[in-house]
Amino acid sequence: MSQPAWEDTQTESTRKMKFASIIPALVLAVGFSAAVVAGEPPAAVSAALAELVPDRQPDAVKKSALPGLYEVRYGPEVFYLSGDGRYVVQGDVIDVASRENLTEQGRAAGRLALLSTLDEKQMIVFAPEHPRHTITVFTDVDCAYCRKLHSQMAEYNAEGIAVHYLAYPRAGMNSQSYWKMVSVWCAEDRAEAMTLAKRGKPTGGRRCDNPIAQHLAVAGELGVNATPTIILEDGTLFAGYVPPRQMAELLDRHAATRLGALQ
C-alpha cells in the first residue's frame, strides 16, 4: 500500500501559517517569471488579487479541484480565492481517493521555480559519475547535523545521489558562520574547503563576490529556518537530516509516484 501523503511528517505540507503572514511574504518576494494562468480567471479574482498583492503578479492562477475556488500561487505560497473574489481560503486540499495533497503539489512547483533562479555554478556540488537523483541542501558549516550529513557524502554518492549545497548560515549575515561560508565559497576548490569547514578546520578568511545573500533570500522565500533543509527533485521539502539509505528509498518512492502520475 502506498504511503499516504500526510504521513511524510517532516514535509513542508505540515507547515501551517496564518493568512495575515502570507501577504508580507509575497510582497517581499524575489523575482519570478510571468504568471502561468490556466485560462483567464474571472475579473473578480484578478481584482481581488490586485488589492491583496498590488505590487506583484501571481505566478499561477488556475481552477482548483474544489468547485468555485481558484488556486493562486506566489512562489511556494498557495491559497484559494472564490470566483467572486470575496473569500480567501487557506489550508491543504487532500484528494481522499488518491491520498494526494493537491496544495503541496502547488507549493512544490513554487519551490522548484525558486531554485531555478539560482545558478548551479554558484552551488557546491558533490555528485557521483552517474547520479540517479539530486537533492538541494541548505547547509551551515557549524550545524551538527549538517556535519553528520557531510561526513556520509561518499555513502550518498554511492546511492546515486548528487548533493547540491546552498549556503544558509543560521545566525544570518555578518555572523561568524556567514564569514566562514564566504571563505568556503571564495576558495579555489570549494568542495575541499566545504569538507574542511565541516570538520571544524579554519577556513582562511577569504573574501570575494559570492552568492550567499541570494541563497539566504531564496531560503527566506522557501520558509527555511533550520539546517539541513533538503529539497527533493519534485520540490518536496524536508527539514532535518535523512540518512543515505533512507534518502535513496525516499527519492525512489517519490520518483515512482511521479512516474505513476504520468502514466
Q: Strands of the chain (E only): list them.
A: 36-37, 60-63, 69-74, 77-82, 88-89, 94-95, 100-101, 124-126, 133-139, 161-167, 229-231, 237-239
- 208 is an active site residue: no
- 186 is an active site residue: no
From the list 140, 189, 206, 253, the catalytic residue is 140
Q: Is 101 helix (H, G, I), strand (E, B) or coil?
A: strand
What is the Cα–Cα distance from 166 to 185, expressed in whole angstroms?
Answer: 10
Q: Cβ–Cβ contacts within 10 Å for residue 249, how many? A: 13
E strand or H helix at 260: helix 244-262
From the list 170, 207, 209, 258, the catalytic residue is 170
- 146 is an active site residue: yes
From the list 59, 73, 142, 146, the catalytic residue is 146
- 140 is an active site residue: yes
From the list 107, 111, 143, 147, the catalytic residue is 143
CA atoms within 13 A on the CB side of 210: 25
Q: Which residue from 103, 92, 85 is spatially nearest to 45, judged by alpha carbons?
A: 85
Pairing mode, strands 88-89 and 77-82: antiparallel
Which residues are tagged catalytic? 140, 143, 146, 170
